[in-house]
Structure 1
Amino acid sequence: MAGSVDQYDAALLGILQNEGNISNFLQVMFGFLFRRTDFYLIMKGENDKLGFPQGMADKLVLQVRKLNSNQSITETVKTEDPSQQASSSKTSSDINEVEIETLPGTSESNAPQNVGGSRTIPADSAVTSDIPSREPHPEQQQVYQANAESYNGAVRENFAWSQSITDIDVRVNVHKCITKGKQCIVSIDKKHIKVGYKDSDNDTVILLDDNLTWEIQKEESIWSLVPGEHIHINLEKKEERWWESLVVSEPKINVRKIDCSRPMTDLDQEAQSKIGEMMFNEQQKRLGLPQSHEQKTYDMMKQAWDAEGSPFKGQPFDASKLSVNSGGVVSINE
């Protein structure tokens, strides 16, 4: 996660201050999980794609609490695997392989036919029958993070990929002689990707042909050619989750080492408004100025100050003569 783990303190502190105690604060947090996620749903069968197995959600809460109580962990927020956030489908990796279907305009029938034979270039020299479960050098992820083409992803022999919580960008390198889209071979299915081209000898060169780690929205996927450089492919994830690899045969990255923060623009309008209000309140409190809910109350008091029947009618408004408690009750100062 980019930056310090306390980057959310202002927003969370605003919630805590509004609620007044830890119990109410936790009710807000778990209420959000109830309304906006499948945290409280219980999987009743193997075909269920939403929810958790019986008792798993409770275990997750206890596990996170235990991790955060261990003072030897310096960044406890990162101990929870970000790949388990969002929709939390547990069965996507078990979905049966389906017959590959190509995007409109990218089918094998539309590509030049293989007349001069074919050869296949492996997608990654590191891909062998004994694939390491993680990158052999953990510090390599820092190098990936410094490159926009592999941000939150990785660089492989023939391609590089980067990701946000919602989509993936893939750049597959091509020979400089590839200058037209009709020379490219791109086939994208919801769980499979195949990329290659026809070279100057009309040979088929396959650069990437593998199963995707998770499912994508096939209809939303697009690709384009940067002549003589690479084929750029954008894949929209079916679920909001962080991928440990683009394809199943490549080494996995450590998603705890990537930037798992999300911009506010990814949130819905209600959430953005609430976070903005909490950040404003925190700033106002530091400056000794009224917070948003206090300002609304003072605005109402100012309107009633000179109203008929008010003991202050005809006098200039003086907020120091009034006070508002945490429950919103207004009282007159003696």
Structure 2
Amino acid sequence: MEILSHYKKEAQEPLIKKNLLKPNKANGLDMDNYSWGQSLENVTINIPLPRGESVNYFTVAIENSNSLKVGRHLEPLIIDGLLFKKIKADEWSWYFSDKNEICISLPKRNRKWWKSLLKGDPEIDTQNFESKWRIFTSKLWQPVEKLYFRLVMKLTYFKQKLESILSNCS
């Protein structure tokens, strides 16, 4: 009983906010030249372009899974810095959308909320949308994540085994 009361008290402790900004509707932040949002799996960046500007004059580069550079040819970079966390560098993509903007998709390595797009940028308060996903304190959440991961691994294994059996029957 004492352990449960300890976690209950911990869950009720107020968050000490240090200049945290309110996130946008996409769980990110609207900056001067771009906006970004996130899910637990992915970070999305949208950069509006002036009317008639071609996407061919843009460069988007990822270095070492944690550095992002985006800019127009021969102009100062729009985004230049270290990402808040590392991404899956072999799975990122970008495209020119119908809304006349560049859209960049960065798959996260870990299913964690980012407080900012780049290290050193203004941070957002992730507590509100974390509560939608996490009903436990962080100490209780880790075992749940491990069990979930094991379950996904087992399901993947059984799916592969079933596919193998079905392919041998054909």
Do they fold alike, i.e. is TM over 0.5?
A: yes
Question: Structure 2 vs 1, CA of residues 229 and 65 (structure 1 numbering), >3 Å: closer, same or farther?
Answer: farther
Shift of 1:184: 1.2
Equivalent runs, 1:269-280 vs 2, <5 Å: none
Equivalent runs, 1:34-45 vs 2, <5 Å: none
Match in the other structure for 1:210: 81
Distance 1:184 1:173 in 2: 12
Aligned partner of 2:52 among 159, 177, 181: 177
Equivalent runs, 1:234-245 vs 2, <5 Å: 234-245=105-116
Kindly provide the CA deviation profile for residues 235-272 of structure 1, in whole angstroms up to 9, marking residues without a partner as x.
Answer: 0111111111110121111110225545xxxx78x68x
Aligned partner of 2:19 among 118, 124, 134: 134
Aligned partner of 1:196 among 71, 79, 87: 71
Aligned partner of 1:230 among 89, 101, 124: 101
Contact 2:38–2:44, Cα closer than 8 Å, also in 1:
yes
Q: Which amino acid aligns with 1:213?
A: F
Question: Structure 2 vs 1, CA of residues 221 and 70 (structure 1 numbering), >3 Å: closer, same or farther?
Answer: closer
DSSP-derived class of the 1:66 partner: helix
Contact 2:87–2:109, Cα closer than 8 Å, also in 1:
yes
Distance 1:246 1:223 in 2: 16
Q: Number of paired residues?
A: 134
Aligned partner of 1:166 among 41, 66, 73: 41
Equivalent runs, 1:20-31 vs 2, <5 Å: none
Question: What residue ranges of structure 2 are gaps of 5+ in the alignment?
Answer: 134-147, 153-170
Aligned partner of 1:156 among 11, 16, 31: 31
Kindly provide the CA deviation profile for residues 32-55 of structure 1, in whole angstroms up to 9, marking residues without a partner as x.
Answer: xxxxxxxxxxxxxxxxxxxxxxxx
Higher strand share: 2
TM-score scaled by structure 2?
0.65
TM-score scaled by structure 1?
0.35
Question: Structure 2 vs 1, CA of residues 238 and 161 (structure 1 numbering), >3 Å: closer, same or farther?
Answer: same
Distance 2:56 2:10 in 1: 57
Q: Which amino acid aligns with 2:19?
A: R
Shift of 1:178: 1.9
Superposed CA RMSD in Å reads 3.1
Contact 2:29–2:36, Cα closer than 8 Å, also in 1:
yes
Match in the other structure for 2:136: none
Q: Which amino acid aligns with 2:61?
A: S
Distance 1:228 1:163 in 2: 19
Equivalent runs, 1:69-148 vs 2, <5 Å: 69=9, 73=12, 134-135=19-20, 138=21, 140-141=22-23, 144-145=24-25
Q: Which amino acid aligns with 1:221?
A: W
User: Identical aligned pairs, as a percentage?
Assistant: 20
Distance 1:170 1:193 in 2: 11
Shift of 1:182: 2.0
Aligned partner of 1:187 among 49, 52, 61: 61
Shift of 1:227: 6.1
DSSP-derived class of the 2:90 partner: helix
DSSP-derived class of the 1:257 partner: helix
Shift of 1:183: 1.4
Contact 1:221–1:236, Cα closer than 8 Å, also in 2:
yes
- Are 2:131 and 1:257 aligned? no
Shift of 1:172: 1.8
Shift of 1:134: 3.2
DSSP-derived class of the 1:244 partner: coil
